[in-house]
Amino acid sequence: MARNLKVIVMLMLSLLLVSGSAYAESTQPYHFGFKKSRGGKLPSIAEEGFMAIMQKHEAVFLGDTTQKELYLTFDNGYENGYTAQILDVLKEKGVPAIFFVTGPYVKDQPELTKRMVSEGHLIGNHSWSHPDMSQISTGRMKEELEKVKQAVANLTGQQTMPYLRPPRGIFSDQVLAFSREQGYTSVFWSIAYRDWETNKQKGREFAYKSVMDQLHPGAVILLHSVSSDNAQALAQIIDDARGQGYEFKSLDRMTTKHYR
C-alpha cells in the first residue's frame, strides 16, 4: 500500500513538472528584434528563435517579399505635436497608414483620432495602458484591448479593429494565442530604428537614412509619431521610395504573409 502510494505521488509530481514546463514555455516572453536589412535584402527575422510562434499564430511582419510594396505603421502612445503634420503629408501624397493607439491617446486627442479614420487610415490597438502583456492575465489583457476598441468605436464609428501591436514589442505564445482568439492579427515590423526617444532626435537626414537604408520588398515600417525627425523626413521617404518603384499599401490589402 505504501509502495503504491509512493508511486502515485511520484506520478503526480511528474505530471506537475510536465505541465509546469509547458506553461513556462507558453508564457516565455520574447522581445521582437532582428538584424536589420541592408542593400534591399530581407532582415534576419526568419532566423530568430521566436519564428515558430509567430508563424503558428499568423503574426504579421512582412508582406509579399516578391513585390515592391511597403506598409506604413505608426505607434501613437501619446501626442507630441507631430501627428497632424504626418497626416498632412499622408494626405498630400495619397499614402495609407495604420496608427496603433493607446487609451490615453484616444482620450486626449479625439480630433486627431477622428481625422485618422475620416482620411481613410486604419486604427489599430496598442492596449489601453501600454503594459507588458506577457506579464498580465488574459482577463486583464482582454480589458486592455476592449477598452481601446470601444473608445475608438464610440469616437469614430469604426466598429472593427482587427490589428494589434503588442506594447514594447514584447509577446509570448500565450499573448499571441489569446490575441488571435479575440479576433486580432498581431502586427510587428521589418523596418524600424530608435526613433521614440524625444530627447535624442538626430535630425531629418538621420531619420531619412535610417529608413531608406533598410528598404526591402514587403516591408512593414514602424515609426513613432512622437519623433520630430520622422515628421520632417516622411515626405522625402515617400517620394524616394516611390522613385525606387515601391508602392505604399494599406495593411488590409496585405494578402501574403512570408516567414523567411
CATH number for 58 = 3.20.20.370
Confidence (pLDDT) at 17: 36
- pLDDT-derived band of residue 54, with 50, 70 and 90 as boundaries? confident
Confidence (pLDDT) at 256: 63
**33 belongs to a structural domain:** no
Place of cell 479593429: 161
Quick check: is 130 catalytic? Answer: no
C-alpha cell at 27: 508564457
Confidence (pLDDT) at 19: 37
Q: Which domain holds residue 133?
A: 44-253
In the set 57, 75, 216, 229, the catalytic residue is: 75
State the pairing for strand pair 30-31/170-171.
Answer: antiparallel
Confidence (pLDDT) at 182: 96
CA distances from 249 to 50, 57, 98, 254 (A): 27, 23, 10, 8
Number of domains in the chain: 1
Confidence (pLDDT) at 20: 39
Place of cell 513538472: 17
**9 belongs to a structural domain:** no
According to DSSP, the residues that pair with 99 across neighbouring strands are: 74, 123
Q: Which of 45-54, 69-78, 108-117, 211-220 has the lowest mean pLDDT?
A: 45-54
**28 belongs to a structural domain:** no
Average pLDDT of the segment spanning 166-188: 95
Confidence (pLDDT) at 30: 87
Q: What is the pLDDT of residues 83-142, one digit of tens each?
A: 999 999 999 999 999 999 999 999 999 999 999 999 999 999 999 999 999 999 999 999
Confidence (pLDDT) at 23: 36
- pLDDT-derived band of residue 258, with 50, 70 and 90 as boundaries? low
Quick check: is 57 catalytic? Answer: no
**3 belongs to a structural domain:** no
Q: Decide if pLDDT at 203 tops 50.
A: yes
Average pLDDT of the segment spanning 165-184: 95
**2 belongs to a structural domain:** no
In the set 173, 195, 224, 229, the catalytic residue is: 224
